[in-house]
Structures are given as C-alpha cells and as structure tokens.
C-alpha cells in the first residue's frame, strides 16, 4: 500500500451539509470547559441561551468529512496517522444556529523520505448554506507515519509547510489554568469524534495508553478558551486566528496550564499538563482583532 500524490491532491471529498442548533453549540462549550464556574458571567454567555455566544473553535466539528483515510483508495496506512497541527482563521463569528457547508481539500502532500513518513495539509471552509457567508477556514497537518518515500518511486512532493513560531524565551505574560473533568472525553466524543480510543479502556491500552485519552481537538479548544478569556475579554469577535502543534496526549481529569505571551495583536502560547509537567500543545500562535 502506497500513497499517490495526484490521487490525494484531487481527493473527492464532496460537500458536507450540517445543521446545528443553539443546544449543539452550548453542549460543545460545556464539553470543552466553558461554564465550569456557573456564576462566571463571561463563561455563562457560552452555555446559556439568553445571551448565547458561540466559541470560534466550534467550527472544527462542523462539516467534517469523516475518516476518509480509511478508504483503501487513499493508499494511507491510516492506523499510523497522527494529528500534527491544527489552525483556524475566523472570518466572522458563528451564529447561534445555522445550516453550514463544509468543503475540504488537500492542499499539500509532503514526502519526508523513506521511513520518515509524509505530511498532508488539509483545508476546510465553513460557509452558511443560505447566504454563502464564510465563517471559518480550518487547516490541519496530518502526519502519515507509515507513508514516506513515495516520491522516490516517481511521485511528486510539495514543499514542507512553514514551521510554526517558537514561543518566546521570557516568562509568559499570562497563565490560565483549566481543569478538565474525568468525563471530558466522553462528552467531547458526542460532538462528532466517536473514536473508541477516547472511551474504551481496552482500545486505549492496546494503543499504548494506560486509559482513554482526551481528543487532541478538545485540548486545543481548552487552550483557545484560555486565550479567549485572558486576552479577548471572552469576545469571540476579537479572535482572528488560532494555531497550535500537538506534542503529547492529555488524560481526562488533568489540569491544563496555558502560558500566554502577547505583543499587541500577536499572541504566542503553549499548554502543559500541571500534574505531569508535560507540554501537550506547543508553538501556539494567535492573532487578535
């Protein structure tokens, strides 16, 4: 089994239509930690319909094309896939309910070499079905650990994406600690990612983990919540871009400490698990409006 550059660059994802309600948005917010303090009025705005705000990262669970890499035609060794990086560009805040169209395409296929794997860069746009308004552009880097060396057999390879910026060496300007609940992964999987790795202890142990781990995109959303409340006054309209690299898994119930550096509209961040002192998100960057 081997990947083919042209096949992947022209992969026929098809449009994905999804209707979400205010209840869906509120459930997502609760799953990633908004409302942990029910009398915090900033957080309450994301989990209470009276003055509902939708987190910018909610877009990541909209219009998702499914686990397409399992298709044998992709040539991908899907068992060895890793989610390497995730970014979002927010064009305008998501409404409290809408029908949206998710449109995905592979924008980069990079051969790192035989035995070194390959990188896929996947872009997904989220638009309003009725108006065509663009809400968000999502970009993810997927590391195909078992698929390097295809260009040596006559295939093409794109240049590697630019490396994300390192965080500053000075002490962070802000620190925000966010406890996760023991059932966080069980909640988040109901937002659309039902991989048993995040629920079934036997599956988790077979994958080399002591117990089910938290979804990377849930960790990513917890860090985004920390940035939003710390430097955006919990206003979704102030966050224009958010990006981070995944570096280690999180176990539900652990506490995330998001370290934040700000220089005007530019923000850098990373997140670590307090209990194990392990960095789980790194090279984080955000842009404010």
CA 179, 181, 185, 187 dihedral sign is negative
Rounded CA separation 269/285 (Å): 6
Neighbours of 66 (CB within 10 A): 11
Catalytic residue (choose from 90, 213, 243, 284): 213
Catalytic residue (choose from 63, 148, 216, 284): 216
* 88 assigned to active site: no
Catalytic residue (choose from 24, 43, 147, 193): 193
Roughly how many angstroms between the first and final C-alpha of the chain, as a whole number? Answer: 46
* 3 assigned to active site: no
With contact defined as beta carbons under 8 Å apart, do 104 and 140 qualify?
no
State the burial class of residue 242 (Cβ atoms within 10 Å of its Cβ: 0-12, 13-18, 19+). Answer: buried
* 216 assigned to active site: yes
* 76 assigned to active site: no
With contact defined as beta carbons under 8 Å apart, do 173 and 259 qualify?
no
Catalytic residue (choose from 87, 198, 215, 243): 198
By annotation, the residues acting in catalysis are 193, 198, 213, 216
């Amino acid at each position: 089994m081997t990947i083919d550059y042209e096949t992947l660059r022209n992969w026929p994802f098809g449009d994905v239509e999804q209707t979400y309600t205010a209840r869906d948005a509120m459930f997502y917010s609760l799953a990633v930690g908004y409302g942990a303090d029910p009398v915090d009025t900033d957080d309450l705005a994301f989990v209470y319909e009276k003055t509902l705000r939708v987190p910018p990262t909610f877009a990541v669970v909209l219009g998702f094309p499914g686990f397409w890499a399992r298709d044998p035609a992709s040539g991908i060794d899907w068992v060895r896939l890793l989610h390497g990086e995730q970014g979002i560009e927010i064009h305008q805040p998501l409404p409290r309910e809408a029908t949206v169209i998710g449109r995905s395409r592979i924008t980069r296929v990079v051969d790192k070499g035989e035995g070194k794997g390959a990188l896929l860069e996947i872009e997904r746009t989220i638009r309003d079905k009725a108006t065509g308004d663009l809400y968000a552009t999502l970009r993810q880097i997927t590391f195909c650990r078992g698929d390097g060396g295809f260009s040596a057999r006559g295939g093409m390879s794109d240049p590697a994406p630019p490396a994300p910026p390192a965080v500053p060496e000075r002490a962070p300007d802000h620190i925000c600690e966010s406890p996760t609940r023991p059932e966080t992964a069980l909640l988040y999987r109901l937002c659309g990612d039902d991989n048993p790795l995040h629920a079934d202890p036997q599956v988790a142990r077979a994958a080399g983990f002591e117990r089910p781990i938290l979804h990377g995109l849930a960790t990513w959303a917890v860090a985004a919540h920390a940035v939003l409340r710390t430097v955006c006054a919990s206003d979704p309209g102030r966050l224009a871009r958010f990006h981070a690299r995944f570096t280690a898994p999180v176990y539900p119930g652990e506490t995330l400490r998001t370290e934040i550096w700000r220089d005007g509209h530019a923000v850098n961040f990373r997140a670590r698990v307090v209990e194990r002192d392990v960095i789980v998100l790194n090279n984080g960057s955000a842009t404010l409006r």
